[in-house]
Structure 1
Amino acid sequence: MLWQGTASPTPLCPSYVDSSLVGSGHLDKGAIFSVAGDSVWATTPGFTVQPAEMKNVVASLAGGDAADKLWTEGIYIAGERFVVFKAEGRSVYGRKGREGIVIVKTTQAILIGHYGDGVQAGNAASTVENLGDYLVKSGY
Structure 2
Amino acid sequence: MSHLQNLLLDTLLGTKHVDSAALIKLQERSLCVASPGFSIMPGDVRTLVNGFAKNPLQTRREGLYFKEKDYKCIRADDYSLYAKNENTGVVVVKTHLYLLVATYTEGMYPSVCVEATEKLGEYLRGKGN
Q: Compute the TM-score of the two structures, normalised by the length of structure 1.
A: 0.82
**Equivalent residue of 2:90, what SS?**
strand
- Say whether the 8 Å CA contact 2:30–2:42 is kept in structure 1: no
Are positions 1:85 and 2:74 aligned together?
A: yes
- Say whether the 8 Å CA contact 2:15–2:112 is kept in structure 1: no
Displacement of 1:69 in angstroms is 3.8
Instruction: Determine the structure 2 residue equivalent to 1:20.
Output: 11
Select which of 71, 76, 96 maps to 1:107: 96
**Equivalent residue of 2:107, what SS?**
coil
Q: Identity, % of aligned pairs?
A: 26
Select which of 28, 31, 36 maps to 2:22: 31
* Structure 1 residue identity aligned to 2:18: L
- Say whether the 8 Å CA contact 1:48–1:78 is kept in structure 2: no
Distance 1:37 1:54, change over 3 A: farther
Q: Compute the TM-score of the two structures, normalised by the length of structure 2.
A: 0.89
Instruction: Determine the structure 2 residue equivalent to 1:8.
Output: none
- Say whether the 8 Å CA contact 1:37–1:55 is kept in structure 2: no
- How many residues align? The count is 129
Distance 1:114 1:103 in 2: 9
Instruction: Determine the structure 2 residue equivalent to 1:4.
Output: none
| Root mean square deviation, CA, Å | 1.7
Select which of 24, 31, 40 maps to 2:31: 40
Gaps of 5+ in 2: none
* Structure 1 residue identity aligned to 2:93: V
* Structure 2 residue identity aligned to 1:47: F
Q: 71-80 or 111-120: which moved more? A: 71-80
Distance 1:45 1:76, change over 3 A: farther
**Equivalent residue of 2:38, what SS?**
coil
Select which of 112, 117, 122 maps to 1:133: 122
* Structure 2 residue identity aligned to 1:105: K
- Say whether the 8 Å CA contact 1:94–1:100 is kept in structure 2: yes
Which stretches of structure 1, 4 residues or more, deviate above 4 A after TM superposition? Answer: none
